[in-house]
Each structure stands twice: as structure tokens, then as C-alpha cells.
Amino acid sequence: MKTKDGYIIPVPLSEYVETMEDWELVEYASMYEVTSIYCRNGASDAKMKEVNRVWQKRYPDEDIPILECVPPLDRNLPPEIYLDDEKDSEK
């Protein structure tokens, strides 16, 4: 983000994603893939669309490599959400 005199200057998503390193694109795509569709939202979908666009611009006709063992995007959700899922699966 750009700052000037303590103010954050908004940057379009497409411009921000253009500045991301390759490893950041791979990391975001990997985290997005392991995130449940119920925990994704319009913002995460829009960023993933831009990540794909930038990757294809840099590496035409190559898929983004997906890493294993990465946390999902929803890793900051309260643990009760996951505990409820475990209780439901025990029934």
C-alpha cells in the first residue's frame, strides 16, 4: 500500500496483484484451493481471478503450482467453527 502523510492511498486490486512476487501468487492460490467454498467470499474470489490473470500473463499456458500443507484462507476464524464440524462428524 502506498502511504502519504499517514494516509493510505487505495490501490486497485489489479495493480496490487501485479506487484506480487511469484511465490506470493503460488501461496495465495494454494491457500484458496484448500479453503472451503463456504468460507470464500467475493473478495477472495476476485483476488484469485486477478492472481490467475497475472500468472497467465507471466507464464502463458502454465498452471499455477498448488502447494500442499498450507493453511486455508479462513485460518483466522474462531476454533469453535471447526469444533462444531468435528462434533457433527462423530454423530
Confirm whether 75 is domain-assigned. yes
Confirm whether 85 is domain-assigned. yes
Query: Which residues have CB under 8 Å from 68's CB, separation 6+?
Result: 30
The pLDDT assigned to 78 comes to 56
Confirm whether 3 is domain-assigned. no
The band of 86, judged by pLDDT with boundaries at 50, 70 and 90, is: very low
| pLDDT tens readout for residues 50-61 | 999 999 999 999
Structural domain including 42 reads: 10-90
| pLDDT tens readout for residues 36-83 | 898 899 999 999 999 999 999 999 999 999 998 888 887 665 555 555
User: 23 exposed, middle or buried (CB, 10 Å; 0-12, 13-18, 19+)?
Assistant: exposed
Confirm whether 49 is domain-assigned. yes
| Count of domains observed in the chain | 1
CB 23 within 8 A of CB 67: no
Tell me the whole-structure pTM to 2 decimals.
0.73
Confirm whether 1 is domain-assigned. no
